[in-house]
């Protein structure tokens, strides 16, 4: 992971996406939340403002230092290693936004998030979607025809871009029960300068929730 600052979230589409995420986080009432890959603490701040007792986790010490302005606890370390060492079933809510695409062991990440979540607890997770219009254009036009290189959702630190179906399938495979799936949209551009936009920015209605540039899912941990 790298140092993350909040400037990127000032873009209109990011502000709109954050509003969707914020709407999916229930009141905390002092319960325990884990912000995995916390960056500079923007999501930790949202959690804290909703009354959650927040633990912020990131591999970058400076990220955790920034997040501790709003979080009650901070952990510095490799995400998979830290999750393995945390007590099982210890958090009521786990948030992992734009994280799985940075790791080679995506299924293991989801499994370890599951292990540290309490029965009837929740996960809020998101990732870019390979089969969105932008993703399909980047793959078929940019990667296969124009030879612009492998399409990795405009971030060289990404190691795997999942389709929405792959992402939801992995969540189910490790035991998560997806309760809500949102597709998030924004203006895009296709080959030959063709621009497009939709009259909405997010949808939980199939198939639109599986075709957004970003897939956001709220999942419940099954009792075990």
Q: Do 106 and 162 contact (CB within 8 A), yes or no?
A: yes
Percentages helix, strand, coil for the chain, rounded to the nearest 5?
35, 25, 35
Q: Which of 151, 180, 205 is nearest to 25 (CA)?
A: 180
Residues 9 and 3: their CA atoms lie apart, in Å, by: 14
Tokens of 51: 């009354």
Which strands sit side by side in the sheet containing 91-97, from one edge to the other?
Answer: 73-76, 53-58, 32-36, 91-97, 117-128, 214-221, 176-184, 202-203
Our count of domains for the chain comes to: 1
Q: Which domain holds residue 97?
A: 6-130+159-221
Q: Is residue 141 part of a domain?
A: no
Q: Do 197 and 160 contact (CB within 8 A), yes or no?
A: no
Q: Is residue 112 part of a domain?
A: yes
Quote the longest CA-to-CA distance of the chain: 53
pTM of the model: 0.89
* Sequence-separated (6 or more) residues with CB below 8 Å from residue 179: 122, 218, 219, 220
Q: Is residue 96 part of a domain?
A: yes
What is the three-class DSSP state of 44?
A: helix
Q: Which of 80, 87, 175, 59 is nearest to 123 (CA)?
A: 175
CATH of the domain at 45: 3.40.50.150
Q: Is residue 145 part of a domain?
A: no
Q: Is residue 151 part of a domain?
A: no
Label residue 209 exposed, middle or buried (CB < 10 Å: 0-12, 13-18, 19+): buried
Indicate left, alpha or beta for 108 from its phi (over 0: left) and psi (-120 to 50: alpha): alpha
Q: Is residue 106 part of a domain?
A: yes
Q: Is residue 137 part of a domain?
A: no
Q: Is residue 122 part of a domain?
A: yes
What's the gap between Cα 87 and its chain centre? 22
Query: In a structure prediction context, what are the per-residue pLDDT tens digits for the chain, which is 224 residues long?
Result: 444 555 666 666 677 788 889 999 999 999 999 999 999 999 999 999 999 999 999 999 999 999 999 999 999 999 999 999 999 999 999 999 999 999 999 999 999 999 999 999 999 999 999 998 888 887 777 777 777 788 888 788 999 999 999 999 999 999 999 999 999 876 555 555 666 555 557 789 999 899 989 999 999 998 76
């Amino acid at each position: 992971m790298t140092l993350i600052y909040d400037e990127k979230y000032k873009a209109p589409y990011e502000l709109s996406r954050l509003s969707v995420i914020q709407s999916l986080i229930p009141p905390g009432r002092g319960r325990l939340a884990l912000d995995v890959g916390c960056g500079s603490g923007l999501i930790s701040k949202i959690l804290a403002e909703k009354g959650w007792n927040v633990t912020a986790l990131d591999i970058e010490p400076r990220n955790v230092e920034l997040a501790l302005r709003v979080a009650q606890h901070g952990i510095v370390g490799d995400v998979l290693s830290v999750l393995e060492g945390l007590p099982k079933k210890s958090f009521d809510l786990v948030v992992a936004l734009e994280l799985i695409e940075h790791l080679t062991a995506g299924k293991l990440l989801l499994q370890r998030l599951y292990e540290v979540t309490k029965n009837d607890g929740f996960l809020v997770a998101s990732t870019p979607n390979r089969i969105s219009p932008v993703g399909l254009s980047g793959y078929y036009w940019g990667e296969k025809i124009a030879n612009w290189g492998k399409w990795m959702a405009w971030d060289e630190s990404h190691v795997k871009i999942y389709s929405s179906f792959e992402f939801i399938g992995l969540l189910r495979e490790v035991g998560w029960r997806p309760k809500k799936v949102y597709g998030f949209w924004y203006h895009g551009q296709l080959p030959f300068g063709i621009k497009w936009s939709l009259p909405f920015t997010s949808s939980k209605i199939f198939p639109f929730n599986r075709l957004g540039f970003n897939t956001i899912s709220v999942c419940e941990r099954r009792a075990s």
